[in-house]
Amino acid sequence: MLNLKFIQDNPQLVVERLKVKNFDAEKIVEEILELYKLRNQTQQEVDGYKSEMNQLSKEIGNLFKQGKIEEANQAKQKTAELKENIKQADLAFATNDENLQALQVQLPNLPHPSVPMGKSDEDNEVVREGGAMPQLHDKAVPHWDLASTYDLIDFELGVKITGAGFPVYKGKGARLQRALINFFLDQAREAGYLEVQPPYLVNEASGFGTGQLPDKEGQMYHATADNLYLIPTAEVPVTNIYRDVILDGKQLPVKNTAYSACFRREAGSYGKDVRGLNRLHQFDKVEVVQIAHPEKSYEILDEMVAYVESLVQKLELPYRVLRLCGGDLSFTSALTFDFEVWSAAQERWLEVSSVSNFESFQANRLKLRFKEEKNKKAQVAHTLNGSALALPRIMASILENNQTENGIKVPAVLVPYMGCEVID
């Protein structure tokens, strides 16, 4: 979340920058400034009451020493009144703080100056493209037909067991999933990321820390009996490893990777874009997360984008990199680059990764800080994450782009993991 002092010192900047995200922050910022002013006034009152109490305490001692019992008792009565005033002021201060935070969490992160104006994904800026477009044979079909022909994925069985959006991978389809997961994890380890295996359910504090709550609660599966949430991405539990932690500045950047299943309700999704593997309620993904020094976070963002690009290139998939416009930028992100791969049989681009810099937005919520030297004040860190990669649409693209009349060619980097060169 945005720092309160920053909002107080830069109210117009906050309002203007959030217009890029098509968010009208003026009323919320005005209310925050009023409450912040009231909070400072209340604090001054409390400080005044405490100063008066300290003075009275000294006077009471002197009065008793001088035998002025009645005057001392009157002073003690005044002290009791001051204690009650402090108690009431403290209650008002706490209520004010609650109201301030309730407003504070409604404000999205400020977009980076490079974020273009725009209202939807149609306004995203194509940064670059790569890879060769495949030339398919005349009888090429979309991945859901290939999955049926080669008995790789059973969508109907998933409907029977759970519901739509929960496919069952079988045979070489399951092996391809596992091959992709292992390939992505091995690549991340070679790039210096420490692998962790996080829980798939998180508590409210974790959801709040990375910004899923209260912004995206309607898109998360909620285990109400235990008040736990199924993770929409491994970003949530992995980043929360560092909640309430003060890191040694020498440790930065901290680099973690994790494979996890991801769960998203995808409420409101319908139509052709959700067919097959295009949009699922449960899917697999390998995530990379970094905790960075504020002065290095944009350099690291560029490194993470280059890393994800290398994965797509090694899979020999045609791709493009987009800089998200303000209207398509997430609540928590300051700058995001999306990766899309070409789905040849569907003749459309499919999003497979988002790589984002959240600057201090998540770290403020997480109370994630670092110290460069022992006697120096702790600073708020920057957090970044990226999909490296999300499997369903990568798999869809591999199946469609590599289909031949005699089977589906396995990308060369996956052959050692698959144990075969062709799915037939």
What CATH number does the domain containing 192 carry?
3.30.930.10
Choice between 42 and 375, residue whose per-residue pLDDT is larger:
42
Strands 369-371 and 246-248: parallel
Please give the pLDDT value at position 250.
94
Residue 357 CB contacts under 8 Å (≥ 6 apart), including other chains:
112, 297, 298, 300, 301, 333, 334, 335, 336, 382, 384
Region 315-341: mean pLDDT is 98
Region 47-67: mean pLDDT is 78
Contact in structure between 410 and 421 (CB atoms under 8 Å): yes
Contact in structure between 188 and 194 (CB atoms under 8 Å): no
Q: Which of these ranges, 82-96, 247-261, 264-278, 292-306, has the smallest mean pLDDT?
A: 264-278
Give the integer Cα–Cα distance in Å for 289 and 301: 11
Per-residue pLDDT band at 217 (split at 50, 70, 90):
confident
Give the integer Cα–Cα distance in Å for 359 and 344: 36
pLDDT > 60? residue 271: no
289 and 353 share one domain:
yes
pLDDT > 70? residue 322: yes
Contact in structure between 375 and 165 (CB atoms under 8 Å): no
170 and 254 share one domain:
yes
- What Å distances lie between residue 140 and 61, 136, 306, 407, CA to CA? 95, 6, 32, 11
57 and 205 share one domain:
no
Is 109 among the domain residues?
no
Is 115 among the domain residues?
no
Per-residue pLDDT band at 344 (split at 50, 70, 90):
very high
Is 261 among the domain residues?
yes
Is 130 among the domain residues?
yes
Give the global pTM: 0.91
Give the integer Cα–Cα distance in Å for 402 and 306: 24
Per-residue pLDDT band at 74 (split at 50, 70, 90):
confident
Per-residue pLDDT band at 272 (split at 50, 70, 90):
low
- Domain-ending residue, one of 47, 78, 104: 104
Choice between 57 and 171, residue whose per-residue pLDDT is larger:
171
240 and 100 share one domain:
no
Beta strands in 32-131 (DSSP E): 125-130
Number of domains making up the chain: 2
Q: Which of these ranges, 54-63, 353-362, 380-389, has the smallest mean pLDDT?
A: 54-63
- What Å distances lie between residue 49 and 39, 81, 88, CA to CA? 15, 10, 11
Domain ranges, residue 93: 4-104
How many C-beta atoms surround the C-beta of residue 343 within 10 A?
Answer: 23
286 and 402 share one domain:
yes
Alpha helices for 268-390 (secondary structure H): 297-314, 361-366
Q: What DSSP assignment string belongs to 188-202?
A: HHHTTPEE----SEE
Give the integer Cα–Cα distance in Å for 367 and 412: 44
For residue 130 the two structure tokens come to: 């790569």
Alpha helices for 140-290 (secondary structure H): 143-149, 155-161, 171-190, 204-209, 235-239
- For residue 394, the SS3 value is helix
Amino acid at 387: S
99 and 225 share one domain:
no
Is 252 among the domain residues?
yes
Is 116 among the domain residues?
no
Residue with tokens 């004040």: 377
Please give the pLDDT value at position 52.
79
131 and 89 share one domain:
no
For residue 284 the two structure tokens come to: 């697999």
Beta-bridge partners for 154: 168
Query: What is the tens place of the pLDDT at every residue in 75-125?
Result: 777 788 888 888 888 888 889 999 999 999 999 999 999 999 999 999 999
Please give the pLDDT value at position 270.
58
Please give the pLDDT value at position 283.
97
Query: What is the tens place of the pLDDT at every residue in 358-394?
Result: 999 999 999 999 999 877 899 999 999 999 999 999 9
92 and 198 share one domain:
no
Give the integer Cα–Cα distance in Å for 221 and 252: 33
The CATH number for 51's domain is 1.10.287.40
pLDDT, averaged across the chain: 93
Is 113 among the domain residues?
no
Is 111 among the domain residues?
no
95 and 161 share one domain:
no
Q: Give backbone dihedrals phi and psi of 339, rounded to 5 degrees, phi first.
A: -110, 135
- Domain-ending residue, one of 38, 73, 104: 104
pLDDT > 60? residue 268: no
Give the integer Cα–Cα distance in Å for 180 and 178: 5
Give the integer Cα–Cα distance in Å for 133 and 168: 29
Please give the pLDDT value at position 59.
77
Report how far apart the first and last C-alpha atoms of the chain are (Å, whole number). 51
DSSP class of residue 343?
A: E
Angle at 384 between CA 178 and CA 21, to 5 degrees: 115
Choice between 350 and 82, residue whose per-residue pLDDT is larger:
350
Angle at 122 between CA 306 and CA 399, to 5 degrees: 60
Give the integer Cα–Cα distance in Å for 223 and 167: 21
346 and 224 share one domain:
yes
Total count of residues recorded for the chain: 424
- Domain-ending residue, one of 56, 71, 104: 104
81 and 214 share one domain:
no
249 and 353 share one domain:
yes
Q: Which of these ranges, 13-17, 34-38, 190-194, has the smallest mean pLDDT?
A: 34-38
Region 138-156: mean pLDDT is 96
